[in-house]
Amino acid sequence: MTSTPNISSQLDPLKALHESKLQIRRELNDSKAKLKGKVQEFIAPASDTHKKTTSISRLVSSGIAIYEGIRLGVSVISAFQSLFGRKRRRRF
């Protein structure tokens, strides 16, 4: 039987490929973790949130954002009402 020596000789390269694949996966996971950390550093809020002026400015900014959202919603609703309201319907 000549197939058994080929199988035993192929096990070592297959094992080496498997170990190489595992090593590459570990390196990829490490680089993903590093990239995730860097992205979180860029996106994370400022660390001086304990200051009173920072918290007040954040509160004002949030209030303005809420006001703008409500104003935009009201304008969208009024636009839809003007397009599809009773005034635009024709009675036959």
pLDDT (mean) for 3-29: 80
Contact 88, 82 (CB under 8 A): yes
d(CA 82, CA 92): 20
The whole-model pTM stands at: 0.39
**How do residues 35-77 score in pLDDT, each as one tens digit?**
998 888 887 766 655 677 788 888 999 999 999 999 999 999 9
Q: pLDDT grade, residue 3 (50/70/90)?
A: very low
Report residue 49 as tokens.
């949130």
| E strand spans, 9-86 | none
Give the per-residue pLDDT at 57.
Answer: 87
Q: Are 33 and 39 in contact (CB under 8 A)?
A: no
Structural domain boundaries of the chain?
1-44, 47-92
Tokens of 87: 């005034």
Q: Distance between CA 66 and CA 45 in Å, rounded?
A: 19
Residue 9 has pLDDT above 70, yes or no: no
